[in-house]
Amino acid sequence: MRAIIASALALICLGTPTILNAQAQRSQEFKDKYKLKEAVVLSRHNIRSPLSDSKSDLGRMTPHEWTKWSAGKSELTSRGGALETMMGQYFRKWAVDAGLFPENYTPTADDLNIIANSMQRCIATAQYFSSGFMPVGGVRVNHRYTPSKMDPLFNPQLTKVSPEFVATAMEQINAMGGKKGIVGINEAIAPNYEFIQEVMDTKDSPMAKSNDPKLKDFTNYNTEIVLEKFKEPSMKAGSALKDLNAASDAFILQYYEEPDSVKAAFGKKLTRDQWSQLAHIKDVYQDVLFTAPIVAVNVANPLIQYMYDELLSPDRKFTFLVGHDSNLSSVATALGVEEYELPDAIEKKTPIGSKIVIEKFEGADGEEYADINIVYQTVDQLRNMELLSLDNPPMIYPLSLKGLEKNADGLYKLADLENRFEEALAAYDAIPAK
């Protein structure tokens, strides 16, 4: 269960494990021993504009002007597109180096599958990635609908809801906050709430000057969770976690988008740890909504099934799925990924543009193996728009699966990973339907 009750400062100060057995560090000896056969990648979209514009409550929380965005509300920005092209270029170099594809490969419909949620930011991310990954491949990006509409494959909606499900889900969510439950979750990050209001200068905001009763929401820690069939898990408006999450999200994106970090912080010089404090509110928001185990297997079920089918496909070499942070969070939880905190990131779980990468190998011993990593651009790589290469790779952080053992080369048996997918699918089937 997510240990949210620790303070943000404690989370930030934790040591980070050494990055071992990652893609960029693999030796020739490893490549001689294991042949890469396939990769399945689940990606979050790259930098977008905020979901709320300056005319909303987000704008009334502060006397300052938010960044002027290069894209419409919720859409991929030009900077996000450029960064995703760089990620695509890196993956091309990695795939060629790993022997998955030759340089300037023209893929077939069988060996390459790129599919995006039908939101503009997801389709655009897939397009930019593809232009870097296979610039002369004539790659088709598949999406179900015209923009912007949620595809059921990526929509983190609850498809099974019953009184029993709600009771179990709320028990698991409340456990994140200890004895005080949801109030405890909020109390643990109360310093973060105070800090983000300090950075926004909320005391001088239009909200404050008009004595808007919504200001009281920032001290309401009794967040109400809504779990309804065919809807995303959500929070009712009127609590600190719900309302200040929007500000946390906007600050994160502004820090990535705005080259001047002082301007991004409304004139304040923030340390990297302080930016992490701002981002931690959103991390907690995601954990509460999407990482209770029974919620995760419910909302992630379509993606778990799809990724499992792709792994079993004998002809597929590369699958690239583009969705949202909620997709990565719920899939990771459903598969039983151990707790982790990402180094060199202000978002500690699913940074902007991050990717869960599952690799399938054929060993020299005739057995099949798998690895699972999360790949993401560091804060400096994002802010400085650094070109990526095998010599300057993105961060590649190994994920561990609860109860499964890696071999001496850091790989799982493929059969064990397949069993983990099957267990997640079975957990969904076991959820009471009524």
- Looking at the annotation, which residues are catalytic? 45, 325
Amino acid at 358: I
Between the two ends of the chain, the Cα-to-Cα distance in Å is 26
Q: Do 414 and 370 contact (CB within 8 A), yes or no?
A: yes
HEC-encoded secondary structure of the chain: CCCCCCCHHHHHHCCCCCCCCCHHHCCHHHHHHEEEEEEEEEEECCCECCCCCCCCHHHHCCCCCCCCCCCCCCCECHHHHHHHHHHHHHHHHHHHHCCCCCCCCCCCCCCEEEEECCCHHHHHHHHHHHHHHCCCCCCCCECCCCCCCCCCCCCCCECCCCHHHHHHHHHHHHHCCHHHHHHHHHHHCHHHHHHHHHHHCHHHCHHHHCCCHHHHHHHCCCCCEECCECCCCEECCCCHHHHHHHHHHHHHHHHHHCCCHHHHCCCCCCCHHHHHHHHHHHHHHHHHHHCCHHHHHHHCHHHHHHHHHHHHCCCCCEEEEEECHHHHHHHHHHCCECCCCCCCCCCCCCCCCCEEEEEEEEECCCCEEEEEEEEECCHHHHHHCCCCCCCCCCEEEECCECCCCCCCCCCEEHHHHHHHHHHHHHHHHCCCCC
In angstroms, the CA 394 to CA 376 distance is 6
Q: Which two tokens stand for residue 273?
A: 């740890």
